[in-house]
Amino acid sequence: MRRLTAFIILFAGFTCFAGLRVNAQERHGADNIAVSAIVVGSDTIPYITLQIFEVVEKLPRKFRKQREAWTRLRNAVYVTYPYAKSASRILKDVNAHLATLHDKKEKKKYLAEIEKKMKAEFGNKLENLSVYQGKVLMKLISRETGENCYEIIKELKGGFSARMWQTVAFFFGGNLKSEYDLQEDKDIEVIVQEIEMYRGSRAYNY
């Protein structure tokens, strides 16, 4: 958007070159209005400072589309990034605990308990995500964990579950094997850094 305060710029520049401000001539008659004036050479020129206003030019269609896409992505990252952070934390805790279990039944029981807790905590929230937000979430989970969602499901639930959910994701235009790429996903990275900077600023201020 280009914003122009045309009259203010005009009068400010004109005043700089004119040099001297004086009051207007004394009023003579009921129809005359006293105003400020500037002296230019031998001339006294009245002037009035107009109220500041904005002239906003409509963005070209190409840039409107880009802005809409950026806004959509930014909103999706802000919504899903906390879930990705939680997923990373939970996965680390789960893997650490699984390392202490040696019985297959114990591992299965533990994973069932974790799954139940996660459904209770995140189920309704995740169900409300759009397909687009789900795709962004998968990218962010890959960023935070270093693994794609397919590998995580395969590791915890087995190959059959991973393939089943990959099929479901495929029908919705998603891909559980999608991985985070700093170059490909540079726009997401910019937004993540923005979130982290904001959090750091808040923590510092507190």
pLDDT digits (tens, 9 = 90+) for 41-89: 788 887 777 777 777 777 788 788 898 999 999 999 999 999 999 989 9
Give the residue carrying structure tokens 């510092």.
204
Interhelix angle for 61-98 vs 131-145, to 10°?
50
**Phi/psi zone of residue 4: left (φ > 0), alpha (ψ -120 to 50 degrees), beta?**
beta
* Helix runs in 1-148, H state only: 6-18, 61-98, 104-127, 131-145
Dist. CA 111–CA 95, nearest whole Å: 10
Model confidence at 163: pLDDT above 70: yes
Dist. CA 144–CA 152, nearest whole Å: 12
Selection from 98-112, 162-176, 182-196 with the highest mean pLDDT: 182-196
Strands 3-4 and 43-47: unpaired
3-state secondary structure of 55: strand
Looking at residue 172, its pLDDT comes to 74
Token output for 94: 């789960």
Model confidence at 8: pLDDT above 50: no
3-state secondary structure of 44: strand
3-state secondary structure of 45: strand
Query: Which residues pair with residue 23 across a beta bridge?
Result: 36
Domain ranges of the chain: 3-47, 61-205
pLDDT range class, residue 29, cuts 50, 70, 90: low
Let me know: does 18 contact 39? Beta carbons within 8 Å. Answer: yes
Token output for 40: 């230019």
Let me know: does 55 contact 4? Beta carbons within 8 Å. Answer: yes
Rounded to 5 degrees, what angle do the CA atoms 40, 45, 47 make? 125
Looking at residue 199, its pLDDT comes to 77
